[in-house]
Structure 1
Amino acid sequence: MPEGKIIKALSGFYYVLGPDGMIQCRGRGIFRKNKVTPLVGDEVVYQAENENEGYIMEVKERKNELVRPPIANVDQAILVFSAVEPEFSTMLLDRFLVLIEYNHIRPLICITKLDLAQSETQKLEKFALEYRDAGYEVLFTSSETSQGIEELSPYLEGKISVFAGQSGVGKSSLLNALRPDLDLKVNDISQHLGRGKHTTRHVELIKIGRNGLVADTPGFSSLEFTEIEPTELNFCFPDIEKLSEDCKFRGCLHVSEPKCAVKAAVEAGSLPGYRYEHYKVFLQEIKDRKPRY
């Protein structure tokens, strides 16, 4: 039986890109019985009933999956944050980064709307330098002026990428700049709410460049750390994880333990204070989480 990749899921149908093109499939009842829900990005085995319709018979093993947005086998997450409107937030960025790191997805930080942020440029450059020092790649872009668009394109080749971020930051505008024929709907920022309305209603993989696939998603509807344990948070901060190798105690949580290399780095100014403060906030949030049964 042929194999393919689910490109879109909508109203109970799965659109699979196979060797003979796109075919609309339904899932066999066995998936409901085994509580397996096919996701966009899944590699599947399918049976064609005719040229246009078929059934998914098997879902191949996934390397990762996200619940919100529902997508599997993601190679990288383009974390889109605007310089202004809405204002750039390191707290929100770190929350996204922790979730992406926990799911073993490579993040790329993309700061948009540079054309609107002339007065903020120096501050944003400082943040970019600090996140690069932490091990992340950071790009500056503007959909209006096309700044950074050519630089972003090579990152998408040969990968499944998720564009994620706060609503209103310009995800759809960025995709339109990468592929103008898409003409994705863009809503203006609500001045009253200070954020945009979601303009994307389902998850779909869009071809970008020669062989890149990008998911324009409705965004993460949950940014809670429901799966992460206190001892795992350390590994979701690459800069803190590296420093922790020099902590005196194995399993150091970097809060009250003596001879902690992470706290020493904050005091010395080699680890940005806000990164450490966010780590402590997230750690307490995880500790305060109700136990799962």
Structure 2
Amino acid sequence: MIEGIIIKGIGGFYYVKTKTDVYECRARGIFREKNITPLVGDNVLIRISDEDNTGYIEKIKQRKSKLTRPPVANITQAIIIMSVKEPALSYWLLDRFLIMAEHENLDIGICINKIDRSEQNEINKIYDIYNKISYSILKTSAKTGEGIDDLKQMLKHNITVFAGPSGVGKSSLLNKIDPRFELKTGDVSKKTSRGKHTTRHVELFNLDSDSYVLDTPGFSSLNLDFIEDEIELSKYFKEIYRYGDRCKFSGCLHYKEPCCEVKMQVEEGNISSQRYDNYIQFLKEIKNNRRY
């Protein structure tokens, strides 16, 4: 058997990259019987047919990580791509992407694209909030090429997922990193101010021997149903979790409890009110989810 990595899956066919070639493969029926679906990013063992040079996936190696949206495995890093304009930046959506990546224990970077269209004070606001809580922030422009070399460095020795809503320029950035990708790009709809979907499936692109990146279909919302208990949410807000240790009551949700250290830190400006407001919105959402 030959070892490889699934780089694309379409209509029941999986394209597996090995050291020598890319093979079109099907999964053995036993995976279906066990309710296991091969994912892009899976390290697999395949058997090649001598007749037509296609293969069958015989074994899926243990996954180091697994994302549901997008459905991918073994990602080591998430770079969340946002733009300040066209489409306008949504802090609510950015924080949801951060929760997803924190939940999977991924290394995380925030990339602000289209900076050629942004005012410096808008970018400074993002820095003030997120750099303060130790997120790496990169400024890029697919149009001018600014920040592309720094982005390439971040991708080295990682399997990276580009996450973010449609229209922020994920595909344009990848084309700038390596023109061989030839990914379709789209404009932002003038009617809705949202991006038009151009990526139709999840695909893993090879940058070098041990570096891959995923371009994924854009989406405008993320369900938080992977969080089973509202007490868990604060773990995914670094600053809230840190100050939460000082709260008077164990199990404090930092919402309506008296003498809450987190709420005091919000009032003093040590925790962003923008982030805290999103935390409360998400907390209510999780509470409502548990009722059904």
- The alignment's TM-score, normalised by the length of structure 2, stands at 0.95
Query: How many angstroms does 1:12 deviate by?
Result: 1.0
CA distance in 2 between partners of 1:174 and 1:141 (Å): 8
Choose 255-264 or 207-216, whichever is displaced more.
207-216
Q: Counterparts of 1:266-285 in structure 2 under 5 Å?
A: 266-285=266-285
CA distance in 1 between partners of 2:220 and 2:40 (Å): 17
Q: Is 1:288 equivalent to 2:278 in the alignment?
A: no
Asked if structure 1 preserves the Cα contact closer than 8 Å seen for 2:166 and 2:219, the reply is no
The amino acid of 2:257's aligned partner reads: E
Query: How many angstroms does 1:221 deviate by?
Result: 6.7
- In 2 relative to 1, CA 168–286 (structure 1 residues): closer, same or farther, beyond 3 Å? same
Q: Which runs of 4+ in 1 moved over 3 A?
A: none
Q: Counterparts of 1:1-293 in structure 2 under 5 Å?
A: 1-50=1-50, 52-117=53-118, 120-209=119-208, 211-220=210-219, 222-228=221-227, 229-291=229-291
Gaps spanning 5+ residues in structure 2: where? none
Query: How many angstroms does 1:148 deviate by?
Result: 0.7
SS of the aligned residue for 1:274 comes to: helix
SS of the aligned residue for 2:257 comes to: coil
Deviations 1:121-164 (A, max 9, x none): 11321221320111211111101111111111111011111111
CA distance in 1 between partners of 2:276 and 2:68 (Å): 27
SS of the aligned residue for 2:99 comes to: helix
Deviations 1:87-121 (A, max 9, x none): 1121111111112211222221100111111xx21
The amino acid of 1:127's aligned partner reads: I
Choose 50-59 or 135-144, whichever is displaced more.
50-59
In the comparison of the two structures, how many residue pairs are matched?
290
- The alignment's TM-score, normalised by the length of structure 1, stands at 0.94
Deviations 1:267-291 (A, max 9, x none): 1111111111110010001001154
SS of the aligned residue for 1:195 comes to: coil
Deviations 1:216-238 (A, max 9, x none): 11034750111212011011111
CA distance in 2 between partners of 1:185 and 1:237 (Å): 34
